[in-house]
Structure 1
Amino acid sequence: MKISFKKISYLLLMILGMNIAFTSCSDDLNVTPKDDDEFLSEVFFKDPSSYKKVLAKLYAGLYVGGNDGDSSGDISGIGGDFSSYLRLLFVMQEFTTDEAIIAWADGSLPTMNTQTWTPNNEFLYGVYSRSFYQISLANEFLRQTSDDKLEARGVDAALKAEIATFRAEARFLRAFDYVQLMDLFGNVPITTEADPVGFYNPVQKSRAEVFAFVENELKDLDNSLKASKANEYGRIDKTAAKFLLAKIYLNAKVYTGTAKNTECITACNDVINSAYSFANVPYRYLFSADNNTNGSQNEIIFPVVSDGNLIRATGAGMSFIMHASIGGSMVAGDRGMDGGWQGIRTRKEFVQSFPDETGTADKRGTFYTNGQTLDIDAVGTFTNGYAVTKYINKKADGSPAQRNDIPDIDFPMFRMSDVYLMYAEATLRGGAGGLIPTAVTYINQLRTRAGATAVTATDLTLDFILAERGRELFWECHRRTDLIRFDKFTGSSKIWQWKGGVKNGTSTASYRNLMPIPATAIQANPTLIQNPGY
């Protein structure tokens, strides 16, 4: 059973969305919650407990797509299951790469497997809309918690101090949303609590301007977020902001044209010297049903919290990842689940990045091969391609989770292992302050935990780092971003099966390093300019 904040997130989720009128700040999205005219924000916020409820809604939106689970979503025209933020990020970051492929033929989903998407892709519309929806919620919360508003409502000093922390967390979550938008779409509008409420066309900003906005927000939040590990489990603290800074600095050359590897190393050192630490537990513990208590929590800086009893959204978040990755001759009960949807596997080239297929020489190579073929002759056949057993809905000791229909596994959005890898990469890319011997030590901590052979300084190349990032962080929503940074997402420098739409893979055009602005968004806001190539 998880902590109280998560209970607030989901037990109050159904009533929360119905009780607050959040109006989108842009005409390019139709993301207003249903029945938004039944109550006014002013009325709702007169209840002192409402502030934490809204914060809980912001966090819950990372996992679920609507106020009543799968059937009704926050985004007009998309169900709560398909518009789950975590599910959409998994589609964007994994299906488009060598780490995953999905058998289903739902709508435009097959084009994500092959890098052949168009601006009419509904999954792109989903992630674009979900991000802006979350931003609109954060903006409205910040408007409703201004000093003037709190003073007018007679909020006492103790609650004001608590709300100040809530505001910092809302700003972080908004920055997180803008990072996803910047990473996927490049040039996007920026809206804040200072913008008017109502429908208008916000100005589209350059990718570099979005980067600068996010950077400034994250640096400023160091003054207002809670200290490292001083917040409730599942909530943001200063270290999460430092992690996200390190992440955007590592990708700064892609986003702005200017490398910031020195800044990345500085942010990494801040995280490494925080209250979080590398988890000296077996690798599999990090992805088990009790990863909030089995020692993994020492490493997981930003979890997307799950709970089988409190979340009734079968198609969202970790429930989607778990169900969709079970099929063929796999026994669902072995994974702690009630069944499989025969969808997600991995591709041949990713399997071959490990020393073997059995997890003998590297315990991170968790593939299910019985009845599965290494080659993928037919994308729509689950038994083509090895299945992945990284996540398991059982506790570390093998005992069952709370339920077998919806998992308890917390998704590790940010964790210390990634910081070690970022430090090593930024050092290799010439960042000042990074030391190769230190980087080797960090990498060998990962490899020792995995039962893999240690490396030396001569082994530490950029190609090795990309491969090691895959081995350590696969299926954690990093791969697309990583491949683009290494110039291996499009083009011919890295080929995998079904890239470009042919079995043996082929080169794809470099403009696909950016996703297209969804056609629906441009139709509603004609001031938006489509990305080149689309």
Structure 2
Amino acid sequence: MKISFKYISYFFLFVLGISMTLSSCTSDLDVTPKDDDEFLSETFFQDPASYKQVLAKLYAGLYVGGNDGDGAADIAGLGGDFSSYLRLLFVTQELSTDEAIIAWADGALPTLNAQTWSPANEFLEGTFSRAFYHISVANEFLRQTTDEKLTARGVDADLKAEIATFRAEARFLRAFSYYNLMDLFGNVPITTENDPVGFYYPEQKTRAEVFAYVESELKDIDASLAASKSNEYGRVDKTAAKFLLAKVYLNAKVYTGTDKFSEAATLSKEIIDNSGYTFANVPYAYLFSADNNTNGAQSEVIFPIVGDGNAIRATGGGMSFIMHASIGGSMDAASRGMDGGWQGIRTRREFVNLFADATGTADKRGTFYTDGQSKDINNVGTFTDGYAVTKFINKNANGSAAQRNDIPDIDFPMFRLSDVYLMYAECAVRGAAGADINTAVGYINKLRTRANALQVASSTLTLDFILDERGRELFWECHRRTDLIRFGKFTGGDKLWQWKGGSINGRATESYRDLMPIPARNIQANPTLKQNPGY
């Protein structure tokens, strides 16, 4: 068992009322208890243990799609296997870029490969609804944990103090969802615990207003979050909030029109120097192994989405999706620690070309499966068209077996210190105040030393190099779309890759696609929502 609240996390309780705040924003969020294991809010919160269980539901929701894993989904329109938070982040952040492509033809999924999506895309609807569902759970938890309610229930002082930290974590996870909504969809409604419960149309805010809200929340919760590295593994602390704020500042020019690279650099340096998180001096592969919570990799992982083959019964969610879908062709699933492959995801030739070779010889991060695979993708629906990716493995670092081979133990590294090094380096190249280019070179070379790649000099640190290095270090970690947009390379014709725009050699796409459309079904549910330009 990886963390003490792991099994609490997968108790899969429901709380009646969590959806009501946003029921007018998206009808997908209506919730009805079905059996005695699901509870009414006021009754359920009489139990002192319930507060941690609801917090655990928030964390569990990052991996699974519903209360029983892949079964009864939290949101309608997509099954629980298709609608887990991490899976939808991967679909939107990776499939739309040079780093990944999927063979499946489920619904509108192929349009994500080609940047030809429309407001009717059910996977975008699922992403929008999943984030708002997560927000609604956090809002209800915050409503139920005010000082007045805790006092009325006779909660003692020690538990009150613990709940104060729980509340800060819930606000962080809510801010994380608003960050993803702002990044993907731009102008979205903001609802909090102070909004009425019941039917109403939440007001759509501008992207700049959402930015200001997320910034304010992340600053405000600093005093209440657990000190850096003092929380249970898998739960966030002060450094996680600083990381997310640095990421928000890094992309501020995209979100608001005003850059905040100096602020991003300051926060990055603070995390590097003072957080207690340290660069993992272990082989790169250890960071993505089944025991990455104990093999030394954990020293740099600031916010993991925790996986556990025994505790999590979600075959199609999170890392289970990433592992199964990336195995096919002549690959031996057992060598990847899995029970089989779904012949889905691989990468595109242009991403492979970021590495000196495809064997991991010149850079151990660039390990691809090429046996029976063609580098070119002539047919998107054929798994063997395109090199397979072997970054993640459901085996322990010493080669021993994970707990089971159907659902992996791998923890997904949502935030890690290596990204902070890269953020600082980018800010230095962009001329951020106080950011030193020689310090940045040192950080980049730490990454490259671990990868057994050639060292670089300050003259190498251009924006193009930084973007490529972010790809080499962080690929398949749900950053690529955001990165490409920040560098002006996601849409348009400056950077092409196979099947961008639906063309085998890639073609320029429309700049309005830097924003995803507000899903049509969500606009039907809340007609006050305005569609993004171009859609």
TM-score (norm 2): 0.98
Matched, 1:166 2:166: yes
How far off is 1:34 after superposition? Answer: 3.4
Q: Is the 8 A contact 2:18 2:139 kept in 1?
A: no
Query: SS of the counterpart of 2:304?
Result: strand
Q: Any idea what the Cα deviations from partners look like across 1:377-424, whole Å, max 9, x if unmatched?
A: 000000000000000000000000000000000000000000000000
Report what 1:257 is aligned to: 257
Q: Any idea what the Cα deviations from partners look like across 1:142-184, whole Å, max 9, x if unmatched?
A: 0000010001001000000000000000000000000000000
How far off is 1:3 after superposition? Answer: 1.3
How far off is 1:513 after superposition? Answer: 0.1
Matched, 1:29 2:29: no
Q: Any idea what the Cα deviations from partners look like across 1:171-219, whole Å, max 9, x if unmatched?
A: 0000000000000000000000000011210110000000000001101
Q: Distance in 2 between matches of 1:7 and 1:268?
A: 34
Matched, 1:232 2:232: yes
Q: Is the 8 A contact 1:20 1:36 kept in 2?
A: no
How far off is 1:33 after superposition? Answer: 2.9
Query: SS of the counterpart of 1:302?
Result: strand
Q: Any idea what the Cα deviations from partners look like across 1:64-111, whole Å, max 9, x if unmatched?
A: 010011121000222111110000000000000000000000000000
Matched, 1:187 2:184: no
Q: Distance in 2 between matches of 1:4 and 1:33?
A: 29
How far off is 1:230 after superposition? Answer: 0.4
Q: Distance in 1 between matches of 2:137 and 2:338?
A: 33
Query: SS of the counterpart of 1:204?
Result: coil
Matches within 5 A, 1:395-410: 395-410=396-411
Report what 1:297 is aligned to: 298
Query: SS of the counterpart of 1:125?
Result: helix
Report what 1:351 is aligned to: 352
Q: Any idea what the Cα deviations from partners look like across 1:455-481, whole Å, max 9, x if unmatched?
A: 000000000000000000000000000
Q: Distance in 1 between matches of 2:503 and 2:265?
A: 40
Matched, 1:439 2:437: no
Q: Is the 8 A contact 2:208 2:256 kept in 1?
A: yes
Q: Distance in 1 between matches of 2:46 and 2:388?
A: 51
Which residue identity lines up with residue 28 of structure 1 in the other structure? C
Q: Distance in 2 between matches of 1:162 and 1:443?
A: 39
Q: Distance in 1 between matches of 2:243 and 2:431?
A: 20
Q: Distance in 1 between matches of 2:252 and 2:196?
A: 31
Q: Any idea what the Cα deviations from partners look like across 1:303-354, whole Å, max 9, x if unmatched?
A: 0000000111100000000000000000000000000000000000000000
Q: Distance in 1 between matches of 2:503 and 2:277?
A: 44
Q: Any idea what the Cα deviations from partners look like across 1:2-47, whole Å, max 9, x if unmatched?
A: 111122101x12xx12x54423312021213332797420110000
Matched, 1:488 2:489: yes
Which residue identity lines up with residue 284 of structure 1 in the other structure? A
Report what 1:94 is aligned to: 94
Relative to structure 1, the CA distance from residue 307 to residue 171 in structure 2 (aligned partners, 3 Å threshold; closer, same or farther) is same
Query: SS of the counterpart of 1:139?
Result: helix
Q: Distance in 1 between matches of 2:231 and 2:304?
A: 13
Report what 2:245 is aligned to: 245
Q: Is the 8 A contact 1:20 1:44 kept in 2?
A: no
Query: SS of the counterpart of 2:5?
Result: helix
Q: Distance in 2 between matches of 1:481 and 1:24?
A: 31
Which residue identity lines up with residue 89 of structure 1 in the other structure? L
Report what 2:199 is aligned to: 199
Report what 1:477 is aligned to: 478
Q: Distance in 1 between matches of 2:221 and 2:432?
A: 24
Q: Distance in 2 between matches of 1:23 and 1:471?
A: 40
Which residue identity lines up with residue 272 of structure 2 in the other structure? I
Which residue identity lines up with residue 436 of structure 2 in the other structure? L
Which residue identity lines up with residue 268 of structure 1 in the other structure? S
Q: Is the 8 A contact 1:21 1:39 kept in 2?
A: no
Q: Distance in 2 between matches of 1:248 and 1:391?
A: 27
Matches within 5 A, 1:259-274: 259-273=259-273, 274=275
Report what 2:111 is aligned to: 111
Report what 2:62 is aligned to: 62
Q: Is the 8 A contact 2:89 2:127 kept in 1?
A: yes
Matched, 1:154 2:154: yes
User: Which 5+ residue runs of structure 1 have no aligned equivalent?
Assistant: none
Q: Distance in 1 between matches of 2:332 and 2:16?
A: 43
Which residue identity lines up with residue 25 of structure 2 in the other structure? D
Q: Is the 8 A contact 1:208 1:256 kept in 2?
A: yes
Q: Distance in 2 between matches of 1:136 and 1:518?
A: 18
Q: Distance in 1 between matches of 2:390 and 2:76?
A: 34
Q: Distance in 1 between matches of 2:319 and 2:129?
A: 20
Report what 1:141 is aligned to: 141
Query: SS of the counterpart of 1:285?
Result: helix
Q: Distance in 1 between matches of 2:418 and 2:391?
A: 16
Report what 2:419 is aligned to: 418
CA RMSD of aligned residues (A): 0.9
Q: Distance in 2 between matches of 1:160 and 1:497?
A: 55
Q: Is the 8 A contact 2:497 2:505 kept in 1?
A: yes
Q: Is the 8 A contact 1:480 1:489 kept in 2?
A: yes
Report what 2:314 is aligned to: 313
Q: Distance in 2 between matches of 1:448 and 1:24?
A: 51
Q: Distance in 1 between matches of 2:25 and 2:160?
A: 34
Matched, 1:51 2:48: no
Q: Is the 8 A contact 1:307 1:406 kept in 2?
A: yes
Q: Is the 8 A contact 2:98 2:348 kept in 1?
A: yes
Which residue identity lines up with residue 232 of structure 1 in the other structure? E
Q: Is the 8 A contact 1:85 1:130 kept in 2?
A: yes
Q: Is the 8 A contact 1:71 1:79 kept in 2?
A: yes
Q: Distance in 2 between matches of 1:335 and 1:300?
A: 22
Runs of 4 or more, structure 1, over 6 Å off, are: none
Matched, 1:324 2:325: yes
Q: Distance in 2 between matches of 1:149 and 1:119?
A: 41
How far off is 1:262 after superposition? Answer: 0.6
Q: Distance in 2 between matches of 1:68 and 1:305?
A: 17
Matched residues, number: 530
Query: SS of the counterpart of 1:259?
Result: coil
Query: SS of the counterpart of 1:219?
Result: helix
Q: Distance in 2 between matches of 1:339 and 1:24?
A: 40
Q: Distance in 2 between matches of 1:158 and 1:68?
A: 32
Q: Is the 8 A contact 1:24 1:133 kept in 2?
A: no
Report what 2:130 is aligned to: 130
Q: Any idea what the Cα deviations from partners look like across 1:216-255, whole Å, max 9, x if unmatched?
A: 1101111110100000000000000000011010000000
Which residue identity lines up with residue 19 of structure 2 in the other structure? T
Q: Distance in 1 between matches of 2:292 and 2:7?
A: 17
Report what 1:275 is aligned to: 276
Relative to structure 1, the CA distance from residue 159 to residue 100 in structure 2 (aligned partners, 3 Å threshold; closer, same or farther) is same
Q: Is the 8 A contact 1:104 1:343 kept in 2?
A: yes
Query: SS of the counterpart of 1:189?
Result: coil
